[in-house]
Structure formats: structure tokens, C-alpha cells
Amino acid sequence: MRILVVEDDLEAQRYLVNGLRESGHVVDDASDGEVGQTLALSRQYDVAIIDRMLPGLDGLKLVAEIREHGNTMPVLILSALSEIDDRVKGLKAGGDDYLTKPYAFAELLARIEALMRRRQPASVKTQLQVGDLELDLLTRTAKRNGSAIDLQPREFRLLEYLMRHAGQVVTRTMLLESVWEYHFDPQTNVIDVHISRLRAKIDKGFEAPLLHTVRGAGYMIRARA
């Protein structure tokens, strides 16, 4: 995958670029907004990571410019700002996701992989399947190996999100934001408890677990490879 990184803090940029390259991505970098814009408009990328505060052309303006040129590549905005409504401003400017610094690299990686996945034509699915676990989005029912699993509405949404990102790491923050729509950090890790309940429902009594914990990052649902 080709990734554009526009970040003016050179050390953060170097770290980001190295990390992404190690994860097997092709990365172009720019340290100011104008260079970033030239790159974004002249080459094809699968995703762009843009810092909010950039010399030359501000990050939000850069995103708006890119969008004005009809470019729809997914954009993740990185921000060291704190304001409560900053996220809203970022998303309004045309960003697809918003991550506040400092971030864990695993969080960033999980998010850009989710963004790149989203880009692929979203076929209207009514059924999700991972291994022998099936989720029917119309009847809102789940089955594993043919037997029905009783899920609470929120558990269903949680499982749906995990299955839509099957094979990808999904972080706790991503779950809190997407499934619960909360943008704050609960003091206790409540998500872990929700996951362990879900795990008890879908994996208990089966030989091959589907819901895996990814150390230092989050969770992943995946059939045995």
C-alpha cells in the first residue's frame, strides 16, 4: 500500500515512516503543507496521514484543498491540539479519521489499515462470515457452527464491527469510538470486559478461538489461517 505522510516534526516523521515501512508499506514523506499538496495531487496513494499544524499550508486547509481537487483518498489527521471540537473541525475539513498525539503506533497502524479497507468498494453485505461464525445483518442474528448465539444489541454491534474488520487489528479506542460513539478515555478499561463477555458467547466450547487479543494493540477476529 502507498502511504503519504505529511508531518513537520522530523523525528516523529522518521519514526512514522520507518514504522510504516517495516509494516510493509510504501511511504512518501513531506514536511510542509505545500510539498504535501503537490505530492497528494500528483501521485496515487491509498491513504494519507496529515499533521494538523504544518508550516506553509495548514493541515486542515491541505485536506480541504485535496478534497476540492476531487481526490477521495482516505485521510487520517494527526493533531497535537486539545480542543474538544477539534475532531469535528478535522472531520468537517474532509478528514476520515482523527488521532490525537501522542498515539501508540499500533493505534495508528490499525486505523490506517481500517481506512484503506474502507476504500475498497463496499459491497452491500447482508451477511458477514468469519470461519464458522455467521452474522446476519438483516435478522440481527448470530450463529456459530449452525447454532444460534444470543447477543445483546450492543454485543451485536461490537461483533459486527470486529467482523467487518476481520483479519485486522482493532484497538480499544476504535471500538469505543465506533461501537459506543464515545471520544473519551474511560479510566478503567471497560472495553476489555465487553470483549471477554463476547468471547464467552462466541468462543466458549469451541476448539478454535476466533476472537484474539493482540498484545499491546487491541483485538482481532480471524479464522485459523
Of the candidates 58, 180, 209, 213, which one interacts with another protein according to CB under 8 A? 180
* Residue 109 near residue 23, CB atoms below 8 Å: yes
Q: Which of 163, 200, 157 is nearest to 176 (CA)?
A: 157
- Touching another protein, residues 12-71 (CB under 8 A): 12, 15-16, 18-19, 22, 53
Of the candidates 9, 34, 58, 134, which one interacts with another protein according to CB under 8 A? 9
Please give the Cα distance from 225 to 223 (Å, whole number): 6
Of 88 and 223, CB closest to another protein: 88
Write down the least CB distance from residue 185 to another protein, Å: 6
Using the contact rule CB under 8 A, the part of the chain among 60-68, 100-108, 115-123, 134-142 near another protein is: 100-108
Q: Which of 176, 161, 146 is nearest to 221 (CA)?
A: 161
Residue 140 touches another protein, criterion: CB under 8 A:
no
Write down the least CB distance from residue 83 to another protein, Å: 7
- Sort strands 127-130 and 133-136 into parallel, antiparallel or unpaired: antiparallel
3-state secondary structure of 75: strand
Residue 152 touches another protein, criterion: CB under 8 A:
yes
Which residue, chain included where needed, has cell 493533531? 79
Q: Which of 181, 208, 176, 177 is nearest to 195 (CA)?
A: 176
Of 73 and 95, CB closest to another protein: 95
Of the candidates 159, 194, 218, 220, which one interacts with another protein according to CB under 8 A? 194
Using the contact rule CB under 8 A, the part of the chain among 25-33, 161-169, 192-200, 204-212 near another protein is: 192-200
Residue 220 makes CB contacts below 8 A (sequence gap 6+) with 162, 165, 166, 167, 168, 169, 170, 211, 212, 214
Residues at the contact surface with another protein, assessed by CB under 8 A: 9, 11-12, 15-16, 18-19, 22, 53, 80-85, 100-106, 152-154, 180, 182-188, 190, 193-194, 197, 216
